Amino acid sequence: MWFEFVNVGNGEALIKVDGQDKCWTREGRRIYLEICQMDGSYIRQRWFPQNGSFASYRFQIVQKDQKNKCATNAHHPKSREVLEMHDCDSPEAKTTSYWNRYG
């Protein structure tokens, strides 16, 4: 699955499924896909790069109201893994909390 970053200002972006009207949405710890609010008005769809930028090769994905919580899994990724908010600096997430940009 491919994603695109849709700039909504203040360094934040929607993370949209390429070719669909679905965006990453956070509810508590859980991250799921929901219809995009393209104006960026829905705070739970606004994401911010940490330790890099969305244009850089490597970065963490966070939300401004979630102190030290990154979009990741608790350990090395596997097929069909659930994506959730986890501590960015937990031992299991030291490397798996980073995303790599392709293309």
Average pLDDT over residues 91-99: 69
Average pLDDT, the chain: 87
Judge whether 9 and 40 are in contact, CB under 8 Å. Answer: yes
For the chain, the domain total comes to: 1
pLDDT value, residue 1: 80
What's the pTM? 0.88
**Domain CATH for 64:** 2.80.10.50
Distance from CA of residue 43 to its chain's centroid? 13
Within 10 Å of residue 50's Cβ, how many Cβ atoms? 17
Tell me which residue range forms the domain holding 22: 3-100
Q: Is the pLDDT of residue 91 over 60?
A: no
Q: When comparing pLDDT for 94 and 2, which is higher?
A: 2
Q: How close are the terminal C-alpha atoms of the chain, in Å?
A: 14
Q: What is the pLDDT of residues 21-54, one digit of tens each?
A: 999 999 999 999 999 999 989 999 999 999 889 9
